[in-house]
Amino acid sequence: MRTMKPGRSGTVDRRRVLAGTAGSVLALALRPAAAAQPRTETTESAIRRFAGDNPIRPGRVSLDLPPLVENGNTVPLSISVESPMTQADHVRRIGVFNERNPQPNVVTLHLRPGAGRAQVATRIRLADTQRITAIAEMSDGTYWSASADAIVTLAACLEG
């Protein structure tokens, strides 16, 4: 009966493990370079262009985005804001921003008091796994925000 030499098989395993690790490190190091696209503007400056220097508080906005996206070319997005939508208290604008698409703006929506509900839906493109932020401007001049993360397996803009 043959006995396994623990020392030898141990070395082979270690070699394989090391080779595998080096491979994945290389793959990780190459991936951002391949996905990197020059951005036209930073997300922060796009948000400041939307909201000015006003403080943005989290809350009142809810953002519905699938957490795992198979195809970044068309991702359903729905936004609702807690608001009575009356003449005195309504949502004026909703801005949606991304972190890693070539351009930080996704969509800007202008609402009117007669809408009844502050509820909108659209479909967007995501170039990478990233966080989406929606900011609502109320008629009283306050800004509220919500964010949602999406993991993207097939990126828009590069493929398709």
Partner 1 sequence: MARTLINLPKTARAGDVITIKTLISHPMETGFRPGADGRILPRNIVTEFVCRFEGEEIFRAELFPASAANPYLTFTWVATASGRFTFTWRGDDGFDQTESAPIAVA
Return residues touching partner 1 (CB under 8 A). 37, 73-75, 98, 101-103, 105-112, 114-117, 119-126, 156-158
- The torsion region of residue 7 among left (phi > 0), alpha (psi -120 to 50) and beta comes to alpha
Q: Smallest distance from the beta carbon of 54 to partner 1, in angstroms? A: 19
Nearer to partner 1, 56 or 113 (CB): 113
Minimum separation from the CB atom of position 65 to partner 1 (A): 13
Start-to-end CA distance of the chain, whole Å, equals: 58
CB neighbour list of residue 146: distance below 8 Å, 6 or more residues apart: 58, 59, 61, 62, 63, 133, 134
Q: Least distance in Å: CB of 38 to partner 1?
A: 9
The helix (H) or strand (E) run that includes residue 12 is helix 6-35
Comparing CB distances to partner 1, the nearer of 22 and 158 is 158
CB of 78 to partner 1, least distance (A): 8
Please identify, using beta-carbon distances, which residue of 79 and 146 lies nearer to partner 1.
Answer: 79
* Helix, coil or strand: residue 57: strand
